[in-house]
Structure 1
Amino acid sequence: MDRKKLPIGISDYKKLIEEDYYYVDKTDFIRQIIEEGSLITLLPRPRRFGKTLNLSTLRYFFERTEGNVYRPLFEGKSIEQWKDFDRYQGKYPVILVTLKDCKADSFDQFLMMFGQELQNEFLRHKYLLEDPRTEPVYIHDFNAIIEKQATEVQLQNSLLMLSTMLTTHWGMPPLVLLDEYDTPIHVAFDKGYYDRMIGFMRNFMSLVFKDNTDIFRGVITGILRVSKESIFSGLNNIAVFSLLDRPVCTSFGFTQEETNTLLNDYSLGDGADSVKQWYDGYLFGGLTVYNPWSVLNYIMYDGVLAPYWVNTGSDVLLRHLLADGPSQIRMGVESLIQGEPIRSVINDKLAFPDLLAKPSNIWSFMLFSGYLKATDPVLNNDDLIEYELQIPNREVKTVYRTIIQSWIDGGPVKNDRLELMLQALKENNMPIFQRTLNDFVVNTLSYYDTSGREPEKVYQAFLLGMLVSSGAYEVSSNRESGLGRYDILLRPRDLSRQGVIMELKLYDPMYDESVESVLDSALRQIEDKQYAATLRAAGVTDILKMAITFDGKRVWVKMA
């Protein structure tokens, strides 16, 4: 077959179809919005999963024009088989506003950017000024928006006014589409004008979506559902379909079947298993979904596997949450990198200032932003739904590895010290290993909380982070081996090289006889529990057994 152009960066449905780009048919999304959605439907999804394209598809399907000029765009598409196709196609005026580019350093700059977006949409409907039924006061405000002279109040009232004018002109209420509504909120939080933004957006959203009889449907997209108590206050007519819910779950991203077809159409079917490891693993409504941006880029770059999606956005907020959140967040990240799931309640109504308030808020942010997947929902003792969380795929795992490396690089102790420590480990030079590890702890462990109830886990997570970043070993922790569970096990990638078992113990001067007695106790535990069994079973014969004990930020090391 003649290979069509790949629609990378194309978010306009009309352009995509008319210029014959490759299109994965998602037009059944239109039917689902009508049959499964509410008067107002909010669809939070991670970035680059097709939100803007889907809203553009809605626009061209519903938009009423002279001669119904958009109907040919849907010939041969799945939506054409819908029993209500003719009832809805080309029957409604449409308002489409996207906020994805409203990323301002200040609130006043945001108002300018927002005014520009509104100007574009109002110019599209400039014919309304010629309607003799239009109220004179509307003409004044309409022109203010076109001329970019609108006040903050006029901007807040803009879509309510436009919907009223469209209803009067066409005799039909409009479909209102608001794309990436939370992008300016996210930026406002980062730039320090969050409260002003929340106040503006609350009024703006309420005016157009609450009790507005001049609206056919409203569809809103974003990444997060910003706390209902703030943005969506009073909107009782809204349905929220997050990535945890079944409705419209496969309308964003590529299904397994769609991905297989796409790869085969570009003669890359042989790489399907690798593509699955790198870009699959998202669960929307319990169904497996591929990252569309990464799959399309993989094809464009002739089958080169790379972290395409993770490089499309800033991870500054994620880094901030992981570094400044509770220590159990960082320990959880270490577990996730090792392939060990964690469990958490998920909060789908987040407010940015509350993200650091508790770990479940941070895990929720990471889930809805595309950095985790959730399975196995269980009602806990507090009658809240708790999920099992995992890293979805290999691409996303690169984000966590990069962040862990930045923790290690962030202090005065740099990678040359890490290499020295690993070299000392290789040479069984415990004095150098202990001295270098102490340097790391003193200079870097300020990111962690060593004064909590379980400092062993903090040290374990810290060591795992360093060792995972080295790449010299396959690192695991808290796994069964022999007659118990080891703390840390390093399996060399070259099985002829040395493997390592580490047992961590807390030294408490109030109760323990001496540091030496604690170290000896840890070494005995390695022997008594036969922790080396896993390494021997893998074919590793050279095994280093290490005891590590600590008191605050002092560390001692001993080998068998």
Structure 2
Amino acid sequence: MEGLDRRLYPIGIQTFSEIREGDYVYADKTDLVYRLTHSDSKYIFLSRPRRFGKSLLTSTLRSYFEGRKELFEGLAIEKLEKEWTSHPVLHFDMSLGKHLDKEGLNRYLLFQLADMERRYGLNMDSEDANLRLTNLIRCAYEQTGQKVVVLIDEYDAPLLDVVHEERELPKLRNVMRNFYSPLKACDPYLRFVFLTGITKFSQLSIFSELNNIKNISMLPEYATLCGITEEEMREQMGEGIDRLAVNLGITPEEALNSLRQNYDGYHFAWPSPDIYNPFSLLNALTDSRIDSYWFGSGTPTYLIEMLRKFHVIPQEIGNRECVAADFDAPTERMTSITPLLYQSGYITIKGYSRFSDLYQLDIPNREVRVGLMRSLLPNYVQRPAELNTLVAKMAEKIYNGDMEGALRLMRTVLSTIPYCENTHYEGHYQQLLYVIFTLLGNYVDVEVRTPKGRVDMVLRTPSTLYVIELKLDQGAEAAMEQIDLREYPERFALCGLPVVKVGINFSTEKRTIEGWKILYQRT
């Protein structure tokens, strides 16, 4: 049967040995693994968003330090490593330590320790995870004669859901600090210590005396350590791109461009090649369709809570300029939402100025932008599913050039949906419109800069470019006057598409669109 002999993509597989033994597609990162394990520091920390390959990287390190040379045949590291020494490896997975109180978290740590202690014939009954980890490291070293490797995957998982809670966070943080504290005291017995996570907690609060840990999260030489570059995708996944193109009825180059718009655009250093979200990319190539995979796998509740805590409106999530210390910063003492947005993968580096030392941060791609806005809908209406239907119908009308029909549809639907509380705030309605237009993610760009200001929204279809300005209780004519005053259409004159000016006015009294004005730019 056609397709049975095609290469398999490792969806949800985070074990390096399973990928290699099962002949799954693998983007070779082992040259970076060798560099990492032979660097000046043996205490390493790497921050990357969820589902970005951190667990697979940790598993790869485990196989390497266990000396499993056969798994690395044909990979870059095969030509670099000559000794393949087998070290005792203590591999801790903190991902299941979520939603636990202080006592539950301590029991979870003891459970993981007990499993490793059995390998060395240890039977400890102490309730102190600190002492048991110290004893385990020393015994592993003494019994094998080799220095110990400690790998801690998702070190911050137990803390993420309480990062916005001032009472619970310190309790769980103290448990983790107690657990990690032996790592410095055991330095003579350790070959390598590696921690991964999403967020960055201060060394003082989590790692106690372990103040020599090296954070490689923003180093250009490790920018591609997690995630997939376009070069890697073209080399390893050409067949998948071809199948996607056939399924969508487009050319392979158009399929590649669709993948790029939806899943590419991450940069964790500067300079850096574009990085694709591996979870979304592999799922899209497996299913031969474009969908919301990363966001569909779960929007963390802590993110929504923190957006509320810092009063972040949708328009302010992206388009940020700041120094590295403002976003590559400990999250438990952050004074803005920027560190959490960046470290969680909702904004990423888009540019850097050596002169000012400022980084430009923005939402990485269409999947994240649309997913973010969809998750914010419950903040504005009580029945968000009806807005999802509205967006789908509007997208079809706009695609077919019927902006008038799309706005008429929006006015009707908005007048029938119950709003959430606090709708007396004028910005509430403007933000709602912003979310709706952004959800037209196939075509929309927002807050587009021009020499004379920012356009509220720019929608691009295959046949038309719409320049849109929104007003509240001022009339559609006022919106159109701003478009003309700031000469917005001239900014897009070279785009090769007819430019249509759209002024929209929202009425707080009627709680929907009051009117609009649409003018076609003369060519």
- Report TM bin, short chain: 0.7 to 0.9
1:311 aligns with 2:296: yes
1:71 aligns with 2:69: yes
Give the aligned partner of residue 57 of structure 2. Answer: 54
Deviations 1:418-466 (A, max 9, x none): 89xx99x958999x969978998894547x7x6xxxx7xx765453224
Q: 1:202–1:489: structure 2 CA closer, same or farther, 3 Å change rule?
A: closer
Give the aligned partner of residue 520 of structure 2. Answer: none
Q: 1:438–1:388: structure 2 CA closer, same or farther, 3 Å change rule?
A: farther
Shift, 1:37, TM fit: 5.2
1:407 aligns with 2:405: no
- Is the CA contact 2:502–2:516 (under 8 Å) kept in the aligned structure 1? yes
Shift, 1:198, TM fit: 0.9
- Is the CA contact 1:278–1:394 (under 8 Å) kept in the aligned structure 2? yes
Q: Which of 18, 22, 32 pairs up with 1:19?
A: 22
- Give matches, 1:52-451, under 5 Å: 52-63=55-66, 70-82=68-80, 85-87=81-83, 89-126=84-121, 142-144=122-124, 149-151=125-127, 153=128, 155-189=129-163, 193-210=168-185, 212-242=187-217, 244-266=218-240, 267-268=242-243, 270=252, 271-285=255-269, 286-301=272-287, 303-327=288-312, 329-333=313-317, 336=318, 341-345=319-323, 346-352=326-332, 354-355=333-334, 357-358=335-336, 362-378=337-353, 385-410=357-382, 415=387, 426=404, 443-445=421-423
Q: What is the rounded CA distance, in whole Å, between the counterparts of 1:440 and 1:467 in structure 2?
A: 19
Q: 1:282–1:428: structure 2 CA closer, same or farther, 3 Å change rule?
A: closer
Q: What is the rounded CA distance, in whole Å, between the counterparts of 2:442 and 2:66 in structure 1?
A: 58
Query: Which stretch of the first structure deviates more once superposed, 317-326 or 274-283?
Result: 317-326
Q: Which of 464, 482, 502 pairs up with 2:434?
A: 464
- Is the CA contact 1:322–1:330 (under 8 Å) kept in the aligned structure 2? no
Deviations 1:461-481 (A, max 9, x none): 453224444789857556559
Shift, 1:63, TM fit: 2.2
Amino acid in structure 2 at the alignment position of 1:111? N
Name the % identity: 26
Amino acid in structure 2 at the alignment position of 1:401? M
Amino acid in structure 2 at the alignment position of 1:143? N
Amino acid in structure 2 at the alignment position of 1:342? R
Q: What is the rounded CA distance, in whole Å, between the counterparts of 1:97 and 1:349 in structure 2?
A: 24
Give the length in aligned residue pairs: 487
- Is the CA contact 2:504–2:513 (under 8 Å) kept in the aligned structure 1? no
Shift, 1:253, TM fit: 1.3
Shift, 1:91, TM fit: 3.7
Q: What is the rounded CA distance, in whole Å, between the counterparts of 1:396 and 1:156 in structure 2?
A: 40
Q: What is the rounded CA distance, in whole Å, between the counterparts of 1:227 and 1:278 in structure 2?
A: 33
Give the aligned partner of residue 32 of structure 1. Answer: 35
Which blocks of at least 5 consecutive residues in structure 1 are unaligned?
65-69, 127-141, 507-514
The alignment yields a C-alpha RMSD, in angstroms, of: 4.3
Instruction: Specify the SS of the correspondent of 1:312.
Output: coil
Instruction: Specify the SS of the correspondent of 2:195.
Output: strand
Q: Could you tell me the TM-score, scaled by structure 1's length?
A: 0.73
Q: 1:465–1:380: structure 2 CA closer, same or farther, 3 Å change rule?
A: farther
Instruction: Specify the SS of the correspondent of 2:237.
Output: helix
- Is the CA contact 1:41–1:239 (under 8 Å) kept in the aligned structure 2? yes
Q: Could you tell me the TM-score, scaled by structure 2's length?
A: 0.78
Shift, 1:284, TM fit: 3.1
Instruction: Specify the SS of the correspondent of 1:15.
Output: helix
Shift, 1:370, TM fit: 1.5
